[in-house]
Each structure stands twice: as C-alpha cells, then as structure tokens.
C-alpha cells in the first residue's frame, strides 16, 4: 500500500489587529505561539494603510507583553520605607480614592488634575474625560497629545472650520503631482508610510522636503530646503510672495471658495525672497524652484509634522502653509490639500472625545451651551454641573504642587516627554498625591504614591483613530497576566468608590455605544460607526452620522453653520467621509479662511552665551518617551542611547571628535551625550533625540514657551551652548 505524507499541521489561528505605536496604526495579525504565551506578529497584507509592511517597533511590539518587562501587580509607596511595594488591588484603589477625595474636600475639585495619553483607545479617552468632569468635577484635564499636533489642529479650525489630521486618505498621496513635506522624517518616524512618497515619484510626481537636517527622508527629495530652525513661517510666506509676484495664484478658486485673501496677500508681500533668504538661510533660487515645482504640477499637497508645529508660533506657521495651498487652489479639490501627519497612535481620537482641556466628545466646544446640554444629557447630569475649560498640558503640569495638589495620570511619561523636564519632574515630586496607571514602570510611574498595572493593546479590545480619520478596531488577541486590569475597570472601580456606581461600564463596546451617542451631531460624529462596520470595512472615516447620506463636509457644532442632511432611508449606513471639503468647507458660509500671518523670531534666539540652536526629534528604533521601546532588546541594540548630532565645522571649532562626551547647556539645564559628527545638519544647529531619561534627557533643555492659540510648547528650537563634558 503506498505511503502518504501526513497533512501539514494547520497554523494556529491569528487575530487581526493594529500596531500600538504611531498614528499609522498599521494592520497586523497576532498569533499565539505553540505551548506558551509568546505572541508573534504575522503579516497582514489586506489592510490598506501599510499593506503588510511594518517597522521594527511594530514587529517587536509583543516583547512588551512579557511579564519580565511590564507591571503585573499594583504598587503602593510604604511610609516606613519610602519605596513602592506590592499591594492588593483593593488597597491600591482605596488609596487612590482616598487621596483624590481628600484633595477635593480640602481644596476643591480643581485641586485634582487628570493627565491622559495619546495612546489610550477612544473608549478609554472618552471614559477618562467623563470621569474627570462627572466624578471629580474638575476642569483640570489635558493630555500629552497637546504636545503632538495641537498647532495644526488650531490652524485647521481657523482655516477650514474642522480639524482632522489628513482630510484625504493616504492612498491619494502617490496620485498627486507634488508634495511639500515640512518638518517630517517619515523614514524614521513612520517607515511604512515612506512607500507613498516612493510611489509618488514612480508616478512622475515630485517631492520637496523642508528640514534643517538632511534626513533619510530628505535624501529621497527632488528638492531639499534646509531652513534655520524656527523660520518655517518666513519660508512659507516667502513662497507665497513668489506665487503672487509670478502670477501663479488660482484666482477663480480664491474668489469662489475662500475669504480673507486681501489681508493674507498683503502680509505675505512683506516677506520678499531676499529677506526670507536672510532669515531662513534658504537661497532664493531654491525658493523659486519650490514654487515652480509645486505650481506646475496638476495637483499638490502640503504635509506638516512636528517640525513647524512644535513652535511658539506653530499655529501661524501651519496657517501660512495652508494659505499657500488656498492661494494656489491646492485645497478642497481631488488629490490636493493640506494635511497634518499626526504622531501618536490615537492622538486624533484622544482629543476628539474629551481628554483635551476645552473639548467634549465629538470635538464639541466645552464653552458651547448646546454642546454641554447634549453631552450632559447622554451622561445623565445637569449641564451646569460640567466644569469649564481648564489648563493646557504644560500649564497643568507646571501648576502641580501649587493649585493642583493631586494628579491621576494614565498612559503618559512627562518626566521624559515634557519640555523643561527637570522642572516638571520637580513639580510631580511636590504633589500631595500621585496615582499612575500604566503598562510599565515608567520614570513618571516611579514617582507615584500608587501605581496600577493595566492591560495593553493586544490584551484588550477598543478603537483608535489614525491620522487619516479612519476609526479602527484593535482586537484582543491574548489574555493579560493575572493581576492586571483594564483602564476601564480602573475607572469603573474608582467611580464607585467616589460615589458614582453607575455610568462607567467596563465593556469597551458598551462604552463605544455611549461615545457614539455623545458624538452625534458634533464635528467628529461617530454615531454611524459600529464595531461590526469597522471590522467589515477596514475602518470607517469620520464624520459618519447615523442613517445619513455621504457628504464631503463634516457636520458642525451649533457654533457653526449646520450642513443640511439629505434624506436617507431609515437604517441606511452612511459610508463615512474619506475626503473632506470637496463640496464646501466646514465654515458657516462654506468658504475656507485665509488667516494673515507674519514672521516673528523664535521665543529664544542664540546669543553670545548660548550661540547654537538645538532641535529635537526621533530615531527609527525608539518611540516617544521610550518607556516601552527601551524595554525591547532588539530596539535597544539599534538605538542604545542619546547622542548630539553636529556639523564637522562646528565640531572643529569646538575641538570635538566623534564619540566625545558633550554637555549641551540651555537656560533650563544640562544634558550629556556622545557626539555624532555629520554634514547632514546645518553648522549652526545641533540635534538630539528625546527618547531617554537621565543625563541624556533632551527635554531637560527644551523651552516651554507656548503658542498663544494652541498652547503648544516650543520643543523644536532653543538656544544652547556646547561644552566638553567632564568625566
């Protein structure tokens, strides 16, 4: 009888989900390895954003699920030893409730602060905002997403009447004619997205990169503009000046679909090319080349990131780039527009649904009486009981130990990520009480009175909203270790201990159902989105009102003109809105607004004592404050620590060799790291990545000067001096 080979063993089932890191939210499959709790990442080619591609952070994300590197039991600081030691959940939760309640009773509700994170799911962000305003009755809530794209959000609101990171899907980028990428190093911050720029060039399009460093992304550009840090606003105004003087404005678009052009044009004309060259260091011929490439293309896009946004004039800077798009008719049309490359995994959804100091769910304004009434009705509370707007993120952190006596912090690490970080660390230490819920014992959690171990991406179900405005479903793939609870369970228990036994469910789908009702009719309307739809459609783009037809313009608050809804049969599904503004902008009259802006210097310019500019950023193998990625061996091997990048001419002037330990000194402190000498940076500028704590902490140096509109700190430029470090 002939032998037959045994059938190959069936592969273990895998769970489709999304990466826990940046705002691409790349699709991946997770599969439990045979015989244990080890999880492996399996390619997921059907998800359109990354089409199977993952960076090293995504591939190694399951490493942080290991009990070896993460928190698995509550910790309480014992008075006898002063150390964090294991405790029961009951003891830890009671201590938090007592600590927050004691502050409320002694100093009033606003003496309690809440600080959230851009990595929290929509459900957790929504529940945290509700907890702050209903249970704690405090106005003092904000989140680290304020440090991400708040300047772009403010500029979006001024110009378009609505803020969504990208008003078009990523798939449109390769099909446009020219992209101006400002202050973004996609090759290291969002590597799977670099393919869109590669495909753009393969299709005959052109790429202009604006960055003071010749990054891996800038090396792909047809034209690289390297302005002095802090001068992006002047650069954009100079380009608009050339557009006007060369007669390249789209007069019909300006007349038919915009308002305020005369004032914006007059402001731009004060920035003639030779003046802009003196301010920015970008030669006039390069300015003219950029205008030619952008305007000769059949369509074009401007994409900004943290470079121009993390400045004390970030809102005006983004506004100037938007003005360039509007003047040339590169907005509100297919394959054209302005977009912001959101950084954090759920930075978009985190502010849409209640973590931001001045916003209610659905991107509603906290000061709008109709918005307060709607959300209060969903929450079952009196609208007058809701507190008003509170402090922005840095201002909240700066007030710790003063007006704010106690803090509940979830999913953030400001000891590393906040500007003027040594000062913020001191403020955290001065609190009467600090409670932290996190996956790992971050540098901030290590200062807490109580630390709660919570689940992470692969251990829970929930939604996130990526940089396109695509609402996605992260599915639970594995069970968390014993002793670990979800953030929703934490908020449910704390609410009950503080007298609110109802209103804080632990089932994420139940929370999302309430979020849908709270967002209904708001600018960020999720009411037509369900877990079922997300799973079937690879995500749904907001706005997506329930039972309403498609529109390329978002519905708006009572503070703006409501877009009339066409008739839809009961139960009809709105398809979502991948592309905004094709018919009209989300303003009262449907017109985009030019905002007149003028260049002004950075809050801190070089002088004799601090003669060099510092700019900060990321490296490909680490993420944000590094609290999770620094616990992954493979990533640490690729990027083991901080460094100071400087030009050979500056190094020669200072007598510095490769690898020498340098002290970088600002008015706020000192950071020490080895020298990395390269001609890919301007000779008047040094660069440091910000992922590490300790003596190499870059944010010890950065300037907390705030944008007057967005309250974004000026991370991207400050004055420093360079010294040889003492051993």
pLDDT at residue 139 is higher than 90: yes
pLDDT tens readout for residues 319-355: 999 999 999 999 999 999 999 998 888 988 888 998 9
By percentage, how much of the chain surpasses pLDDT 90?
Answer: 91
User: Per the domain annotation, does 167 fall within a domain?
Assistant: yes
pLDDT at residue 178 is higher than 90: yes
Q: How confident is the model at residue 560, as a pLDDT?
A: 33
Q: How confident is the model at residue 547, as a pLDDT?
A: 80
Domain count, the chain: 3
Distance, CA of 346 to CA of 462 (rounded, Å): 11
CATH code of the domain covering residue 94: 3.40.50.740
Kind of pairing between the strands at 15-18 and 27-32: antiparallel
Q: How confident is the model at residue 73, as a pLDDT?
A: 97
As beta bridge partners, residue 451 has 75, 436
**Are 185 and 130 within one domain?**
no
pLDDT band at 5 (very low <50, low <70, confident <90, very high): low
CATH code of the domain covering residue 328: 3.40.228.10
Could you please report the per-residue DSSP string of 139-165? S-EEEGGGGTSHHHHHHHHHHHS---S
User: Per the domain annotation, does 225 fall within a domain?
Assistant: yes
User: Per the domain annotation, does 459 fall within a domain?
Assistant: no
* Average pLDDT of the residues of the chain: 94
CATH code of the domain covering residue 718: 2.40.40.20
Of the candidates 587, 593, 584, the one whose C-alpha atom is nearest the C-alpha of residue 556 is 587
The C-alpha angle with vertex 139 and arms to 314 and 315, in degrees rounded to 5, equals 10
pLDDT band at 101 (very low <50, low <70, confident <90, very high): very high
The Cα-based distances of 146 to 284, 418, 495, 500, 515 in angstroms read 35, 11, 26, 29, 21
**Are 239 and 135 within one domain?**
no
pLDDT tens readout for residues 389-436: 999 999 999 999 999 999 999 999 999 999 999 999 999 999 999 999
pLDDT band at 38 (very low <50, low <70, confident <90, very high): confident
3-state secondary structure of 592: strand
**Are 391 and 269 within one domain?**
no
**Are 382 and 449 within one domain?**
yes
Residue 608 neighbours by CB distance under 10 Å = 6
pLDDT tens readout for residues 453-499: 999 999 999 999 999 999 999 999 999 999 999 999 999 999 999 99
Q: How confident is the model at residue 562, as a pLDDT?
A: 31
Give the mean model confidence (pLDDT) for residues 446-450.
98
Distance, CA of 466 to CA of 712 (rounded, Å): 21
Which among 318, 340, 362 is the end of a domain? 340
**Are 280 and 174 within one domain?**
yes
Give the mean model confidence (pLDDT) for residues 145-156.
93
Which among 465, 500, 523 is the end of a domain? 523
**Are 350 and 336 within one domain?**
no
pLDDT tens readout for residues 552-576: 454 443 333 333 233 233 345 899 9
Classify the C-alpha dihedral 491-496-501-507 as positive or negative. Answer: positive
User: Per the domain annotation, does 353 fall within a domain?
Assistant: yes
**Are 164 and 123 within one domain?**
no
Give the mean model confidence (pLDDT) for residues 186-200.
96
**Are 209 and 318 within one domain?**
yes
User: Per the domain annotation, does 71 fall within a domain?
Assistant: no
Q: Which domain holds residue 218?
A: 150-340
Which among 309, 325, 340 is the end of a domain? 340
Distance, CA of 29 to CA of 52 (rounded, Å): 9
By percentage, how much of the chain surpasses pLDDT 70?
Answer: 94
pLDDT at residue 109 is higher than 80: yes
Q: How confident is the model at residue 342, as a pLDDT?
A: 86
**Are 177 and 143 within one domain?**
no
**Are 311 and 207 within one domain?**
yes
User: Per the domain annotation, does 10 fall within a domain?
Assistant: no
pTM value is: 0.94
Structural tokens at position 305: 């990131």
Distance, CA of 547 to CA of 83 (rounded, Å): 55
pLDDT at residue 7 is higher than 60: no
**Are 186 and 287 within one domain?**
yes
In whole angstroms, how large is the CA radius of gyration of the chain?
A: 25
Of the candidates 463, 543, 477, 542, the one whose C-alpha atom is nearest the C-alpha of residue 508 is 463
User: Per the domain annotation, does 560 fall within a domain?
Assistant: no
Structural tokens at position 52: 């199977």
* Helices and strands, counts by H and E, the chain: 23, 30
Q: How confident is the model at residue 37, as a pLDDT?
A: 65
**Are 359 and 382 within one domain?**
yes
Q: How confident is the model at residue 727, as a pLDDT?
A: 66
User: Per the domain annotation, does 683 fall within a domain?
Assistant: yes
pLDDT band at 301 (very low <50, low <70, confident <90, very high): very high
pLDDT tens readout for residues 617-656: 999 999 999 999 999 999 999 999 999 999 999 999 999 9
- According to DSSP H, which parts of 297-313 are helical? 306-309
pLDDT band at 32 (very low <50, low <70, confident <90, very high): confident
pLDDT at residue 10 is higher than 70: no
């Amino acid at each position: 009888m002939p032998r037959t080979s045994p059938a190959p063993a069936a592969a273990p089932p895998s769970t489709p989900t999304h990466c826990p890191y940046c705002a691409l939210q790349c699709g991946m499959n997770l599969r439990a390895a045979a015989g244990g709790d080890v999880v492996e990442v399996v390619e997921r080619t059907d998800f359109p954003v990354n089409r199977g591609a993952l960076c090293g952070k995504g591939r190694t994300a399951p490493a942080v699920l290991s009990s070896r590197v993460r928190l698995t039991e509550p910790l309480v600081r014992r008075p006898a030893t002063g150390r964090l030691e294991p405790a029961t959940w009951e003891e830890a939760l009671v201590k938090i409730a007592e600590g927050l309640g004691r502050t409320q009773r002694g100093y009033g509700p606003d003496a309690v602060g809440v600080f959230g994170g851009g990595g929290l799911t929509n459900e957790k962000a929504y529940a945290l905002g509700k907890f702050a305003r209903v249970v704690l009755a405090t106005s003092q809530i904000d989140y680290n997403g304020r440090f991400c794209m708040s300047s772009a959000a403010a500029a979006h609101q001024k110009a378009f009447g609505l803020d969504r990171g990208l008003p078009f899907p990523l798939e449109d980028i390769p099909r446009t004619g020219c992209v101006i990428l400002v202050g973004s190093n996609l090759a290291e911050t969002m590597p799977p997205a670099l393919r869109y720029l590669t495909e753009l060039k393969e299709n005959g399009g052109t790429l202009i990169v604006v960055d003071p460093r010749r990054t891996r992304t800038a090396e792909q550009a047809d034209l690289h503009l390297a302005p002095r840090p802090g001068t992006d606003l002047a650069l954009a105004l100079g380009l608009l000046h050339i557009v006007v003087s060369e007669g390249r404005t789209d007069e019909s678009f300006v007349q038919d679909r915009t308002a305020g052009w005369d004032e914006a044009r007059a402001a731009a004309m004060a920035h003639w090319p030779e003046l802009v060259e003196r301010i920015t260091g970008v030669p006039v011929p390069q300015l003219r080349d950029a205008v030619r490439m952008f305007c000769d293309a059949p369509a074009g896009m401007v994409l900004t990131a943290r470079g121009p946004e993390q400045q004390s004039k970030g809102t005006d800077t983004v506004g100037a780039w938007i003005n360039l798009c509007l003047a040339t008719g590169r907005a509100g049309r297919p394959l054209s527009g302005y977009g912001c490359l959101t950084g954090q995994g759920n930075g978009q959804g985190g502010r849409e649904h209640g973590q931001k100091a001045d916003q209610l769910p659905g991107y509603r304004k906290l000061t709008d009486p109709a918005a307060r009434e709607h959300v209060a009705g969903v929450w079952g509370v009196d609208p007058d009981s809701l507190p008003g707007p509170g402090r922005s993120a840095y201002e909240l952190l700066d007030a710790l130990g003063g007006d704010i006596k106690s803090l509940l912090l979830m999913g953030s690490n400001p000891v590393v990520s906040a500007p003027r970080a040594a000062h913020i660390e001191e403020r955290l230490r001065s609190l009467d009480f600090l409670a932290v819920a996190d996956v790992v014992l971050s540098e901030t959690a290590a200062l807490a009175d109580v630390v709660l171990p919570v689940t992470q991406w692969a251990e829970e179900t929930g939604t996130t909203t990526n940089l396109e405005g695509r609402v996605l479903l992260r599915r639970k793939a594995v069970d968390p270790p014993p002793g670990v609870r979800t953030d929703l369970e934490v908020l449910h228990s704390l609410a009950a201990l503080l007298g609110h036994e109802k209103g804080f469910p632990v089932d994420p789908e139940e929370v999302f159902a309430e979020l849908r009702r709270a967002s209904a009719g708001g600018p960020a309307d999720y009411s037509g989105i369900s877990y079922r739809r997300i799973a079937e459609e690879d995500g749904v783009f907001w706005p997506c009102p329930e039972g309403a037809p498609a529109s390329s313009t978002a519905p708006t608050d009572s503070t703006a003109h409501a877009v009339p809804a066409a008739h839809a049969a009961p139960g009809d599904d709105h398809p979502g809105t991948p592309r905004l503004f094709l018919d009209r902008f989300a303003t009262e009259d449907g017109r985009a607004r030019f905002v007149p802006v003028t260049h002004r210097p950075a809050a801190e310019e070089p002088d004799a004592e601090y003669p060099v500019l510092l700019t900060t950023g990321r490296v490909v193998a680490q993420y944000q404050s590094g609290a999770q990625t620094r616990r992954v061996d493979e990533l640490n091997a690729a990027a083991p620590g901080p460094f100071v990048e400087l030009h050979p001419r500056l190094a020669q002037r200072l007598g510095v060799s490769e690898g020498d330990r340098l002290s970088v000194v600002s008015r706020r402190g000192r950071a020490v790291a080895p020298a990395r000498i390269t001609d890919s940076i301007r000779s008047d500028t040094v660069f440091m990545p910000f992922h590490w704590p300790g003596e190499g902490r870059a944010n010890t140096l950065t300037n907390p000067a705030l944008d007057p509109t967005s309250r974004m700190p000026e991370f991207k430029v400050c004055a420093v001096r360079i010294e040889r470090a003492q051993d």
